């Protein structure tokens, strides 16, 4: 089923000093691409990037994490090297969850861990709630696992998203994608992402650009910018969170995602979600850095994630293996 793990090669990024392999999983409209680190029989960990990023977001962090894990970092549909969704189709959290389901089915993973940054953390949270028996541990990097919407705002936001899609199909669908020089592409990415360093931007652009006549184009699908039309409130988010059976580690950045929430009600949402994790004996930590701290300053994040994986995944696997051997 997989046209996967094609060729092992050294990556061009100076931040990755090890060989990784390329992943390609067929899907009905094309392929989901990604990268793979670690031993073939290592404990499986799926890595999910944030909105408008790609699997390169983990390039600096994964080399610092336990070597006994098998890390698969996806390019979500419409991002990085993965295919865009078919014409007329919107991007939504359930569709990303379905893509994760397709990938782990192709990999034949029945139990695995998830590391998700930002939107990828929300995809991981929803997947962990819907398929609790499949997820052993969940790491949320500057993410709360869910993104509640005020119930009163849902009709307006859903309508806005639908109208944006209609407008896109009228004016943008056949419009040629803008071509940049590489230097201008770096400038464009940095202008829209204040939390990225120049080096981090270049890492993301390794999979975020495609060649074009006269320069390069961004590879991501413009439709990922359209308003999300599948929304849930705080009550539904907390109910889903209560379904998660995995051990959870929430790693927040001091100058990160939470600072975007200026409304009192929005901060009440994040506080309620964090309290729900604490009430279930999950771990919540804060590290110095901004929304992309895992990419810009991975040394701030790696010790927490490494200890969590070692304690919740690797040591447990070791104990189970020892127990099985002792019965022989």
Task: Return all residues near 195 (Cβ < 8 A) that are at least 6 apart.
Answer: 256, 290, 291, 292, 296
Helices (H), the chain: 93-107, 119-130, 154-171, 182-192, 198-208, 234-241, 264-279, 293-296, 298-309, 315-326
Distance of CA 319 to the CA centre of its chain: 30
DSSP label at 262?
A: -
Residues 300, 289: contact at Cβ < 8 Å? Answer: yes
Other Cβ atoms within 10 Å of 265 Cβ, number: 12
Which residues, including other chains, have CB under 8 Å from residue 272's CB and lie 6 or more apart? Answer: 234, 238
Alpha carbons 286 and 64: distance in angstroms, whole number:
19
Contact by Cβ (8 Å): 193, 42:
no
Please name which of 95, 56, 94, 98 lies closest in space to residue 75, comparing C-alpha atoms.
56
Per annotation, catalytic residue among 118, 143, 195, 247: 118
Show the tokens assigned to 10: 């050294």
Tokens for 109? 């993973």
User: For residue 30, what are its two tokens?
Assistant: 């094309």
Do the Cβ atoms of 40 and 107 come closer than 8 Å?
Answer: no
- Is 326 designated active site? no
Active site residues: 118
């Amino acid at each position: 089923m997989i046209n996967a793990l094609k060729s092992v090669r050294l990556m061009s990024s100076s931040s990755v000093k090890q060989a990784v392999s390329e992943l390609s999983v067929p899907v009905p409209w094309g392929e989901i691409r990604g990268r793979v680190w670690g031993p073939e029989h290592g404990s499986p960990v799926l890595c999910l990037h944030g909105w408008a990023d790609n699997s390169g977001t983990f390039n600096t962090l994964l080399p610092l994490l336990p070597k006994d894990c098998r890390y698969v970092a996806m390019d979500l549909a419409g991002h990085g090297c993965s295919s865009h969704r078919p014409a007329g189709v919107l991007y939504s959290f359930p569709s990303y969850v379905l893509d994760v389901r397709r990938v782990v089915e192709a990999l034949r993973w029945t139990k695995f861990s998830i590391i998700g940054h930002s939107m990828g953390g929300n995809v991981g949270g929803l997947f962990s709630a819907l398929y609790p028996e499949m997820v052993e541990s969940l790491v949320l990097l500057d993410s709360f696992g869910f993104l509640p919407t005020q119930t009163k705002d849902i009709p307006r936001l859903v309508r806005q998203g639908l109208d944006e899609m209609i407008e896109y199909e009228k004016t943008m669908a056949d419009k040629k994608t803008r071509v940049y020089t590489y230097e201008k592409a770096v400038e464009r990415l940095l202008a829209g992402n204040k939390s990225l360093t120049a080096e981090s931007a270049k890492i993301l652009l390794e999979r975020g650009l495609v060649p074009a006549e006269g320069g390069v184009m961004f590879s991501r699908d413009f439709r990922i910018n359209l308003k999300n039309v599948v929304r849930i409130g705080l009550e539904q988010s907390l109910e889903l969170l209560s379904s998660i059976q995995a051990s959870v580690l929430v790693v927040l950045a001091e100058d990160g995602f939470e600072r975007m929430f200026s409304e009192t009600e929005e901060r009440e949402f994040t506080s309620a979600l964090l309290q729900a994790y604490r009430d279930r004996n999950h771990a919540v930590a804060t590290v110095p850095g901004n929304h992309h701290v895992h990419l810009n300053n991975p040394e701030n994040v790696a010790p927490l994630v490494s200890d969590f994986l070692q304690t919740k995944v690797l040591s447990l696997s070791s104990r189970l293996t020892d127990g099985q051997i002792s019965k022989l």
